[in-house]
Amino acid sequence: MEELRSRADGPGLMAGYLDSLSLLERLHRLLLDVIKDEFERLGELEINPVQALLLFNVGANEVTAGELKTRGYYQGSNVSYNLKKLVEAGYMHHQRCDIDRRSVRVRLTAKGREMRDNVEALFARHAQGMETQGVISFDAMEEMNHTLRRMERYWSDQIRYIY
């Protein structure tokens, strides 16, 4: 790893790659902090930011924990634990699948939809603020998303085909 870092100190793709990895980590942590701060402002202290993102990503769908993991949103037991907590707190309904009794399908309750709407409103304010303050243009956002999707595909391919 030390050899990798020393080569990364100089110019080139490696330095940019390591910088991107660091930024992705920091941005994810900052996103969770932003959601936490918003919920504190609203007096919503019953769920954590990861659970709020889970509600946002489920949206109007009815899904299983496996589907959420397959989509790449969450890892293993983490999603099961958070779904269980959201059901217990009244943010989600759960029901066993008729076809596969081992599988449980979940969907948002009215309380869950309200919380999801709060997260969506926060994201909408941020998108508008970034645009009006000139933080990032629509074209720059599109290019960034295109690049991140290519990185995602590359990493997914590495997981599938390297072993």
Q: Is residue 66 part of a domain?
A: yes
| Residue 79, number of CB atoms within 10 A of its CB | 19
Q: Is residue 16 part of a domain?
A: no
Q: Is residue 126 part of a domain?
A: yes
Q: Is residue 3 part of a domain?
A: no
Question: Quick one: what percent of the chain has pLDDT higher than 70?
Answer: 84
CATH number at residue 128: 1.10.10.10
> What SS3 class is residue 107?
strand
State the pLDDT at residue 87: 93
Q: Is residue 102 part of a domain?
A: yes
Q: Is residue 159 part of a domain?
A: no
Domain that holds residue 74: 46-132
Q: Is residue 125 part of a domain?
A: yes
State how far Cα 148 lies from the chain centre.
14
State the pLDDT at residue 78: 81
Q: In the predicted model, is pLDDT for residue 28 greater than 60?
A: yes
What is the reported pTM?
Answer: 0.80
What total number of domains does the chain contain? 1
Mean pLDDT, range 46-58, rounded to an integer: 92
The predicted-structure confidence for 61-84, as pLDDT tens digits, reads as follows: 888 877 877 766 666 568 888 888
Q: Is residue 26 part of a domain?
A: no
Task: Identify the burial level of 140 via C-beta atoms within 10 angstroms of its C-beta, where 0-12 means exposed, 13-18 middle and 19 or more buried.
Answer: exposed
Contacts of 32 (CB under 8 A, 6+ apart): 49, 50, 53
> What SS3 class is residue 7?
helix
Place of tokens 């759960």: 94
Q: Give φ, ψ of 77 to 5 degrees.
A: -65, -25
The predicted-structure confidence for 81-124, as pLDDT tens digits, reads as follows: 888 899 999 999 988 766 666 678 899 999 999 999 999 999 99
Q: What residues pair up with 60 in beta bridges, in sequence order?
A: none
Token pair, residue 70, equals 């397959």
